Amino acid sequence: MRNLALTLALLTPLVACDKPEPAAKPTPAKAVEPAKPAAEVKPEAPKPTIAAPAGLFNCKAAAGAAAPATPAGALPYKLEACPTIPGMYGTLAFGMDAAAAAKAAKGAKISGDSGYIKVDKKLRHFGFSEAGTLDEFRFKMGPAGLAAMEAAWGAPLIVEFLSDKTKVWLNPAAKVKVMVEDNTFADAGDDSEKYSVRYALYTPLADLLGPEGLLAKSVIGSTGEDLQKNFGPVLEVKSAEQAKADTAALGLDAKTNAIAAWAGANEASAKLAYPQPETWSNLTFSLDWKDKKVSGYGTTLHYGKDTAVQAEIPALFAAAFGAPTDGAKNDDGKWKYHFAGPNGTKLELRDIGESWSLDVTK
Q: Are residues 134 and 262 in the same domain?
A: no
pLDDT digits (tens, 9 = 90+) for 287-296: 999 999 999 9
pTM: 0.81
CA distance 34 to 112: 86
Q: What is the pLDDT of residue 310?
A: 96
- Considering 167, 185, 202, which residue would you say is the last residue of a domain? 202
Question: Residue 348 falls within a domain, yes or no?
Answer: yes
Mean pLDDT calculated for residue range 3-8: 39
Count of domains for the chain: 2
CA distance 48 to 333: 13
Q: Does pLDDT of 352 surpass 90?
A: yes
Question: Residue 28 falls within a domain, yes or no?
Answer: no
| First-to-last C-alpha distance (Å) of the chain | 110
In contact, 110 and 117? CB cutoff 8 Å = no
Q: What is the pLDDT of residue 250?
A: 81
Question: Residue 65 falls within a domain, yes or no?
Answer: no
Q: What is the pLDDT of residue 245?
A: 80
Q: What is the pLDDT of residue 160?
A: 85
In contact, 336 and 330? CB cutoff 8 Å = yes
Q: What is the pLDDT of residue 99?
A: 96
pLDDT level of residue 264 (50, 70, 90 thresholds): low
Question: Residue 58 falls within a domain, yes or no?
Answer: no
Q: What is the pLDDT of residue 65?
A: 86
pLDDT level of residue 13 (50, 70, 90 thresholds): very low
Q: Are residues 227 and 331 in the same domain?
A: yes
More confident residue, 260 or 341: 341
How are strands ordered across the β-sheet holding 235-238? Answer: 235-238, 269-274, 283-290, 293-302, 355-361, 346-351, 335-340, 326-329
Q: Are residues 136 and 281 in the same domain?
A: no
Q: What is the pLDDT of residue 186?
A: 87
Question: Residue 258 falls within a domain, yes or no?
Answer: yes
Q: Are residues 357 and 212 in the same domain?
A: yes
pLDDT digits (tens, 9 = 90+) for 162-216: 778 999 999 999 999 999 999 988 888 889 999 999 999 999 999 999 999 999 9
Mean pLDDT calculated for residue range 52-62: 93
Q: Are residues 176 and 234 in the same domain?
A: no
Question: Residue 69 falls within a domain, yes or no?
Answer: no
Q: Are residues 175 and 250 in the same domain?
A: no
pLDDT level of residue 249 (50, 70, 90 thresholds): confident
CA distance 354 to 300: 10
pLDDT digits (tens, 9 = 90+) for 299-318: 999 999 899 999 999 999 99
More confident residue, 150 or 268: 150
174-178, 258-262, 263-267, 327-331: which has the minimum mean pLDDT? 263-267
Which residues share a beta bridge with 199? 137, 178
- In 99-250, the DSSP E strands lie at 109-111, 114-119, 122-128, 134-141, 157-161, 164-171, 176-182, 195-201, 235-238
- Alpha carbon 313 to chain centroid distance? 8
Q: What is the pLDDT of residue 188?
A: 83
Q: Are residues 240 and 333 in the same domain?
A: yes
Question: Residue 95 falls within a domain, yes or no?
Answer: yes
Q: Are residues 214 and 350 in the same domain?
A: yes
3-state secondary structure of 242: helix
pLDDT digits (tens, 9 = 90+) for 330-350: 999 999 999 999 999 999 999
In contact, 84 and 174? CB cutoff 8 Å = yes
Q: What is the pLDDT of residue 149?
A: 97
Domain span including residue 257: 208-361
Q: Are residues 114 and 248 in the same domain?
A: no
Q: Are residues 100 and 147 in the same domain?
A: yes
| CATH number of the domain within which 278 lies | 3.40.1000
* Spatial CA neighbour of 166 closest among 148, 151, 184, 152: 184
15-19, 114-118, 196-200, 356-360: which has the minimum mean pLDDT? 15-19
Mean pLDDT calculated for residue range 66-79: 93
CA distance 124 to 141: 11
- Considering 186, 202, 218, which residue would you say is the last residue of a domain? 202
What are the C-alpha distances in Å from 164 to residues 104, 158, 161, 180, 352?
Answer: 35, 10, 5, 11, 20
Number of neighbours of residue 260 by Cβ within 10 angstroms: 16
pLDDT digits (tens, 9 = 90+) for 18-54: 445 555 566 665 666 666 677 777 666 667 889 999 9
CA distance 32 to 28: 12
Q: Are residues 152 and 222 in the same domain?
A: no
Q: Are residues 357 and 284 in the same domain?
A: yes
| Identity of the residue numbered 261 | A
